Amino acid sequence: GQNIDQPTEMTATEGAIVQINCTYQTSGFNGLFWYQQHAGEAPTFLSYNVLDGLEEKGRFSSFLSRSKGYSYLLLKELQMKDSASYLCAVTDSNYQLIWGAGTKLIIKP
């Protein structure tokens, strides 16, 4: 079956760095997404990785290792507004998005 695992909840301090991990097992792979979702709102796109390596975009970076079925989202200089759920999603061989359950990130002052 298809499976995406990520931690349920993480806590970090304002100004610090946090890494959210995601491991996946899917039938085929056509890219991995990270989305941010605030409570009661739709997901917003953060990053897309299809090749191995690190993609940096401002305070957010995303890493992919296809051989290990592993990705992480790195958030630097954490701000209170970063408190949200972070969803990992993989596009399978049919270009269908397979979603992880999401990681709720709590930022403390």
Partner 1 sequence: GAVVSQHPSWVICKSGTSVKIECRSLDFQATTMFWYRQFPKQSLMLMATSNEGSKATYEQGVEKDKFLINHASLTLSTLTVTSAHPEDSSFYICSARDQVGPDYEQYFGPGTRLTVT
Q: Is 42 in the site for partner 1 (CB under 8 A)?
A: yes
Determine phi and psi for 62, rounding to 5 degrees. Answer: -135, 140
Among the listed residues 31, 46, 66, 92, the single contact to partner 1 using CB under 8 A? 31
Beta-strand pair 84-91/103-108: antiparallel
Q: Is 7 in the site for partner 1 (CB under 8 A)?
A: no
DSSP 36-74: EE-TTS--EEEEEE-SSEEEEETTEEEEEETTTTEEEEE
What span, in angstroms and rounded, lies between the C-alpha atoms of 5 and 94?
20
| Least spacing, CB of residue 15 vs partner 1, in Å | 27
- Tokens 């909840």 — which residue? 9
Q: Name which of residues 82 to 101 contact partner 1 (CB under 8 A).
A: 87, 91, 95-97, 99-101
Question: Based on CB atoms, which residue is closest to partner 1, 5 or 76?
Answer: 5
Q: Is 52 in the site for partner 1 (CB under 8 A)?
A: no
What span, in angstroms and rounded, lies between the C-alpha atoms of 86 and 90?
13
Question: Based on CB atoms, which residue is closest to partner 1, 33 or 72?
Answer: 33
Binding site residues, partner 1, CB under 8 A: 30-31, 33, 40-45, 48, 50, 87, 91, 95-97, 99-102
